[in-house]
Amino acid sequence: MPLLEVRNLSVTIPTPEGDVHAVRAINLEIEKGEIHGVIGESGCGKTMTGMTLLGLAPKGARIVADSLHFDGEDLSKNAERLRGRRIGLISQDPAAALNPVLSIARQMDDVLRAHRNMSRQARRAEASSLLAATGLPDPQRVLKSYPHQLSGGMQQRVVIAQALATGADFLIADEPTTALDVSVGAQVLALLRKLVSDRGLTVLMITHDMDVIAEACDRVTVLYAGLSVEVGPVGEILQQPGHPYTQALLAALPDAAPHGARLAAIEGSIPPPRSGIEGCAFAPRCPKAMPVCARQVPPKRLAEAHRWLCHLPASAP
Amino acid sequence: MELVRYILRRTILSTFVVVGVTFLVFIVAQVVPSDPAALYAGPRPTAEQIEKARQELNLDAPLAERFVTFAKAMAAGDFGVSYKSRRLIADDLRAYLPATLELAIFSTGLALLIGIPLGVLAAARQGNWPDRLSSLGSIAAVAMPTFFLAMILQLIFAQWLGILPLSGRLSREISIAAPLPMITGFNLIDAVLAGRIEVVGDALKHLILPALTLASYPAGVAMRLTRSAMIEILERRHVTAARALGLSEPRILFGHALPNAMGPALTVIGLSFAYALTGAVLVEIIFAWPGLGRYVSEAILAKDFPVIAAVTMVVTICYVVMNLLIDVAQALVDPRVALS
Amino acid sequence: MTRLVHRLGWPGTIAFGVVLVFVLLAVLAPWIAPYPGQGAGAPNVAAKLLPPSADYWLGTDHLGRDVLSRVIYGARVSMTNGILIVLFALLIGLPIGLAAGYFGGWIDEALMRGTDVFLAFPALLLAVLMAAALGPGFLNSIIAVAVTWWPWYARLARAEVLVLRGQPYVEAARLAGVSHPRIIIRHILPATGRPLTVQAALDVGPALLTAAALSFLGLGILPPTADWGQMVDAGRKFFPARWWYSAMPGLTIFIVALAFSILGDALRDRKGGANRASA
């Protein structure tokens, strides 16, 4: 049984101007110990999926799923209890995720106090060792600092240390490197890999960046317009993407294009989140679209260990 | 470094303000009234007495010279002699200032204690009944005339319920039969210093109604400011992050979001303190509180200008110093303040 | 009516109605008050300190005068107080703020430091000092409060001017050689005037409260003219046994100040809504 099993999740947010379909039909299966990437353009529902798993979807959102289970527990009922105990968040912008007016010591201590029954000194020592575990060189000094006194990379390490402090074994990392320099981002990814292997963590890595997938993830789920359209091991998907959208994403990578050639941007835009979808959601932008794509929901295709949804048969890469 | 320069600049500005305040008080107290000499000479003075008073007050000297004399005296803490009682005003101030400060500090504390939690609650339950109720309360508190509120509180708590004393600073049994030694002038502190714990309770009981009266307006303002600041802060990413870390809701509200609202809270301290200092004029009469407010209101009736001027000077300087301290505190809490 | 409700919301509309009623009471006092003579001050010693009854809806005072008539007549003084205070304050503050903002430099510095001195006082205390120096009386108490009030308008006007000064049409007028007074009157005053008038209208309530406090201290208009603050003070000697004497005028001040404050909130919200809609 996978650690996280999400089947056919939809999240709808009612607004005065009509329902917003933030997530339409997403499937996720995440095995213990893997780093599972979730990739897609902004507006594809990846952050909303993460927030739903944490029980932090906006008030009034309608959440429907055939299955929404974490380690056998129903998340639609227990998300709030599991949040911060087993499921942690590493958010996009570490500068915004840390409280600007509280010292790091205070922010670490608050987390430890909420989750562990320890004495004051023990908490202090634990905070220091957790910071050290994230590769921060001088934990004592970091503890005394305020967020604005730390660099972006250091801030992100503190955020990771906080997530570890909760004792969570499943981390949702929402674009953890977007706000950082490329080299610092690579270090943070390496740190996450190390923590996964050292501590047996599982990570859901939300990103819009194929490089992050290639660098850090074991498997990946591709989202488009609130739907999961392809899933499989990273190596396979990078080599032989099945879904035309995934192919387009890979073609849009800078190093995929020959030197000097124009980047292959994907023409068009995602379907508006307020409207319904008929047939294949990607059809209007798909270079290989056929008449059937606009009418019928695409069938499941299989090749080796990965699956996708498309009217085109599997043999045509 | 910026902080030091900021503090220095604010201190210098405040000094200028104090000089300006002195000048203004001088003008209003010594130049505007039609004939200070006649007032100084006492009731139904003869022409001779008035002339003598003119010389004593040095009223014939040039304005600039008179101002310098006035300012020097103020700086030396020499506030002159009361027209009415002929006592040294400085002595009176020493007796009355602590009573007013005690009231002002206590009511400021009360205002924060009532206003800030209500503001947090209103923000956390935005749009629900706790929000509506406390918003309504804050509007009413702001519109309520101080002197009228004082009378209503007296009516309810002293007359009807009889649980709090009607007026005064200490019960007669204490103030007359076994008075406190005056050490700091603050009854609460003096009672502790004298080791008379039963007096602390009595002093507190006397403090509650006047302090509550003075606290109502700033509590209303504190509630509004805290509410709007908290609503904005609760939307920030680090609050979501704190939730994702599994912190309890009270911990997030008071431990994480509220410290970000320190700016408004400090503003309220200044406002509340100022309100208490001026409201004291109204409240001290009604509660027979032996402070500067009652002292000055009696001076108003007697046209005792040196007293009015002295009280205005002292209270304004307290106020200027308070504002300076708050500005510095604000810069310490949020270093961006010093840079602007 | 529906448009008014739409623009101000229900609380704002009711508050507006209350303010309107008190303005009417003030204007029409001699025709509305049940005992106009007593309202104006004539004693009626046969009926001293009677509780509220069919004859005297709000009871009578220590000179036997009908408290309702006194409250209605008091509206004249109290409402005028509030309006004149902000008007005087505008008359002082607006030119100072305009000059400071428009000319800048040392003129700005001098005017604003002067303004700071006035702001350094706890407001009521400066008003008390002023009123005591000028002596009690209707106009004097108004001047006393206005002296503490104008710095806010000076600051507000200055801030508005600073924004306007950089506008291209002002710049153009200056380059074209239009004289300073003309630029100020033609281009700057109209644009500054509006936000200031709104603010001033909102301040009538608080100004009225401050004036009431002064007259409570015996620094307002002299008896026998009716004034709410002074009535509360006069009734204090008989409180709480003859509660109505103090309570009725006190409650009236509260209601009027509350109405102004709710109306102010409604106006502010409306303004904010319009801004958001246009953004």
Domain ranges in chain C are: 2-269
Task: Return the top range by mean pLDDT from A9-13, B2-6, C6-10, C165-169.
Answer: A9-13
Any C CB within 8 A of B315 CB? yes
Q: Which residue has the tokens 């002299």?
A: C222
Which of A78, A82, A93, A99 best probes binding to B when mutated, by most B CB atoms within 10 angstroms? A99
Total number of domains constituting chain B: 1
The answer to whether the CB atoms of A84 and B256 lie below 8 A apart is: no
Whether the pLDDT of residue B183 is over 80: the answer is no
User: Looking at beta carbons, which residues of chain B come within 8 Å of A179?
Assistant: none
CA distance A58 to chain B (A): 11
Question: Does C271 or A175 have the greater pLDDT score?
Answer: A175
Q: Which residue has the tokens 């508190």?
A: B141
Query: Strand A4-15 and strand A35-39: pairing?
Result: unpaired
Domain ranges in chain A are: 4-86+168-309
> How large is the average pLDDT for residues C112-135?
87
d(CA B65, CA B81): 20
CA distance B261 to chain A (A): 10
Written in H, E and C, the secondary structure of A243-286 is CHHHHHHHHCCHHHCCCCCCCCCCCCCCCCCCCCCCCCCCHHHC
Nearest by CB to B140, from C132, C251, C258: name it.
Answer: C258
d(CA A176, CA A3): 22
* Intra-chain end-to-end CA distance of chain C, in Å: 28
CA distance B331 to chain C (A): 20
Any C CB within 8 A of B17 CB? yes
The answer to whether the CB atoms of A56 and B236 lie below 8 A apart is: no
Q: Per mean pLDDT, which range of B81-85, B332-336, C29-33, C144-148 is the poorest?
A: B332-336
The one-letter code for the residue type at B136 is L
Which residue segment(s) compose the domain that B256 sits in?
89-144+215-339
Q: Using alpha carbons, select from C149, C253, C148, C263 the residue that is nearest to residue C198.
A: C263
Whether the pLDDT of residue B42 is over 80: the answer is no
User: Looking at beta carbons, which residues of chain C come within 8 Å of B281?
Assistant: 124-125, 128, 217
Please answer whether residues B190 and B183 qualify as being in contact, where contact means their C-beta atoms are separated by less than 8 angstroms.
yes
Residue B1 CB burial class (10 angstroms; 0-12, 13-18, ≥19) = exposed
Is omega for the bond preceding A287 within 30 degrees of 0, making it cis? no
Which run of H or E residues covers position A190? helix A182-199
d(CA A143, CA A149): 11
Whether the pLDDT of residue C276 is over 50: the answer is no
Residue B28 in domain: no
User: Looking at beta carbons, which residues of chain A come within 8 Å of B260?
Assistant: 99-101
**C27-58 residues labelled b (16+ CB within 10 A) or e (exposed):** eebeebbebbebbbeeebeebebbeeeeebeb
Please answer whether residues C68 and C58 qualify as being in contact, where contact means their C-beta atoms are separated by less than 8 angstroms.
yes
Residue B121 CB burial class (10 angstroms; 0-12, 13-18, ≥19) = buried
Nearest by CB to C261, from B139, B281, B301: name it.
Answer: B139
Please answer whether residues A137 and A97 qualify as being in contact, where contact means their C-beta atoms are separated by less than 8 angstroms.
no
Q: In the prediction, which pLDDT does A203 show?
A: 93
Q: Give tens-digit pLDDT for A16-50.
A: 888 888 898 999 999 999 999 999 887 788 888 98
Mean pLDDT estimate for chain C: 84
Angle at B190 between CA B187 and CA B192, to 5 degrees: 110
The answer to whether the CB atoms of B247 and A98 lie below 8 A apart is: no
Interacting residues of A308 by C-beta distance below 8 A, sequence separation 6+: A222, A229, A230, A231, A232, A242, A243, A246, A300, A301
Q: In the prediction, which pLDDT does C165 show?
A: 79
Residue B37 in domain: no
Own/partner contacts of B129-132, CB < 8 Å, gap of 24 or more, are: B131/B227
Any C CB within 8 A of B12 CB? no
User: Looking at beta carbons, which residues of chain C come within 8 Å of B308?
Assistant: 128-129, 132
Q: In the prediction, which pLDDT does B339 show?
A: 62
Q: In the prediction, which pLDDT does C37 show?
A: 79
Q: Using alpha carbons, select from B107, B109, B113 the residue that is nearest to residue B282.
A: B107
CA distance C13 to chain B (A): 16
Question: Does C211 or B51 have the greater pLDDT score?
Answer: C211
Q: Which residue has the tokens 């709410």?
A: C228
Which of C112, C117, C239, C268 best probes binding to B when mutated, by most B CB atoms within 10 angstroms? C117
The answer to whether the CB atoms of C239 and B13 lie below 8 A apart is: no
Please answer whether residues B7 and B328 qualify as being in contact, where contact means their C-beta atoms are separated by less than 8 angstroms.
yes
Q: Per mean pLDDT, which range of A215-229, B26-40, B208-222 is the poorest?
A: B26-40
Which of A48, A83, A101, A206 best probes binding to B when mutated, by most B CB atoms within 10 angstroms? A101
User: Looking at beta carbons, which residues of chain B come within 8 Å of A162?
Assistant: 241, 245
d(CA A147, CA A103): 7
Whether the pLDDT of residue B211 is over 90: the answer is yes
The answer to whether the CB atoms of B256 and A97 lie below 8 A apart is: no
Could you give phi then psi for residue A232, rounded to 5 degrees? 170, 180
Any C CB within 8 A of B329 CB? no
Q: Give tens-digit pLDDT for A236-292.
A: 888 888 888 888 888 877 665 555 444 456 777 778 878 788 888 888 888 888 888
d(CA B172, CA A3): 75
User: Looking at beta carbons, which residues of chain B come within 8 Å of A165?
Assistant: 245
Query: How many A×B Cβ pairs under 8 Å?
Result: 69
Identify the closest residue of chain B to C254 by CA–CA distance: B144
Question: Does A6 or C39 have the greater pLDDT score?
Answer: A6
Which of B233, B234, B245, B253 best probes binding to A when mutated, by most A CB atoms within 10 angstroms? B245
Q: Using alpha carbons, select from B296, B132, B286 the residue that is nearest to residue B211.
A: B286
- Residue A205 falls in which region: left (phi positive, over 0), alpha (psi -120 to 50) or beta: beta
Residue B52 in domain: no
pLDDT band at C271 (very low <50, low <70, confident <90, very high): very low
Nearest by CB to B319, from C122, C232, C240: name it.
Answer: C122
> How large is the average pLDDT for residues C95-123?
88
Question: Does B238 or C278 have the greater pLDDT score?
Answer: B238
d(CA C252, CA C234): 15
pLDDT band at C92 (very low <50, low <70, confident <90, very high): very high
Please answer whether residues A246 and A220 qualify as being in contact, where contact means their C-beta atoms are separated by less than 8 angstroms.
no
Nearest by CB to A97, from B241, B255, B262: name it.
Answer: B241
Mean pLDDT estimate for chain B: 84
Q: Per mean pLDDT, which range of A148-162, C117-131, C258-272 is the poorest?
A: C258-272
d(CA B114, CA B220): 9
Nearest by CB to A56, from B243, B251, B255: name it.
Answer: B243
In chain C, which ranges are continuous DSSP H helix?
2-27, 29-32, 36-40, 67-103, 105-120, 123-134, 138-165, 168-175, 180-183, 189-216, 228-236, 243-278
Percent of chain B with pLDDT over 70: 95
Interacting residues of B114 by C-beta distance below 8 A, sequence separation 6+: B215, B219, B222, B223
Q: What 8-state DSSP symbol labels residue B144?
A: S
Q: In the prediction, which pLDDT does A182 show?
A: 86
Q: Give tens-digit pLDDT for A167-189.
A: 888 999 988 888 888 888 899 99
Neighbours of chain A (3+ CB pairs under 8 A): B
Identify the closest residue of chain B to C130 by CA–CA distance: B28
The answer to whether the CB atoms of B142 and C219 lie below 8 A apart is: no
**A28 in helix, strand or coil?**
strand
Q: Using alpha carbons, select from C69, C71, C19 the residue that is nearest to residue C248.
A: C71
Which of C129, C209, C231 best probes binding to B when mutated, by most B CB atoms within 10 angstroms? C129
User: Looking at beta carbons, which residues of chain B come within 8 Å of C217?
Assistant: 281-282, 285, 297, 300
Residue B50 in domain: no
d(CA C172, CA C168): 6
The answer to whether the CB atoms of B311 and C125 lie below 8 A apart is: yes
**Is the sign of the CA dihedral B202, B207, B210, B213 positive or negative?**
negative
Nearest by CB to B247, from A96, A98, A110: name it.
Answer: A110
Q: Give tens-digit pLDDT for C226-262.
A: 889 888 888 888 877 888 888 899 999 999 999 988 8
Could you give phi then psi for residue C30, rounded to 5 degrees? -60, -25
Q: Which residue has the tokens 């809490």?
A: B333
ipTM of this predicted complex? 0.83
Q: Using alpha carbons, select from B194, B261, B200 the residue that is nearest to residue B227.
A: B261
Domain C2-269: CATH superfamily, name plus number: MetI-like (1.10.3720.10)
Interacting residues of C211 by C-beta distance below 8 A, sequence separation 6+: C78, C81, C82, C85, C141, C142, C145, C220, C229
Q: In the prediction, which pLDDT does C278 show?
A: 28
User: Looking at beta carbons, which residues of chain B come within 8 Å of A110?
Assistant: 242, 245, 247, 251, 255-256
The answer to whether the CB atoms of C132 and B319 lie below 8 A apart is: no
CA distance readout (Å), B315 to B215, B274, B292, C219: 18, 9, 9, 20
Q: Which residue has the tokens 């009417």?
A: C24
Q: In the prediction, which pLDDT does B193 show?
A: 78
pLDDT band at B237 (very low <50, low <70, confident <90, very high): confident
User: Looking at beta carbons, which residues of chain B come within 8 Å of A92?
Assistant: 237
Whether the pLDDT of residue B327 is over 90: the answer is no
Neighbours of chain C (3+ CB pairs under 8 A): B
Please answer whether residues B323 and B270 qualify as being in contact, where contact means their C-beta atoms are separated by less than 8 angstroms.
yes
Identify the closest residue of chain A to B257 by CA–CA distance: A99
Q: In the prediction, which pLDDT does A108 show?
A: 92
Q: In the prediction, which pLDDT does B336 show?
A: 65
Whether the pLDDT of residue C269 is over 80: the answer is no
Is omega for the bond preceding C224 within 30 degrees of 0, making it cis? yes
Q: Give tens-digit pLDDT for A64-83.
A: 889 888 888 888 888 888 88
The answer to whether the CB atoms of A110 and B255 lie below 8 A apart is: yes
Q: Going by beta carbons, is chain C in contact with chain B, meaning 3 or more pairs sit under 8 Å apart?
A: yes
Q: In the prediction, which pLDDT does C275 show?
A: 34
In CATH, what number is assigned to the domain containing residue B250?
Answer: 1.10.3720.10
Q: In the prediction, which pLDDT does A157 show?
A: 92
> How large is the average pLDDT for residues C46-50?
81
> How large is the average pLDDT for residues C183-194?
80
Percent of chain A with pLDDT over 70: 95
Own/partner contacts of C184-189, CB < 8 Å, gap of 24 or more, are: C184/C98, C184/C102, C188/C98, C188/C102, C188/C161, C188/C164, C189/C98
The answer to whether the CB atoms of C124 and B281 lie below 8 A apart is: yes
Domain A4-86+168-309: CATH superfamily, name plus number: P-loop containing nucleotide triphosphate hydrolases (3.40.50.300)
d(CA A286, CA A280): 10
Which tokens in the block code for residue A60? Answer: 């009034």
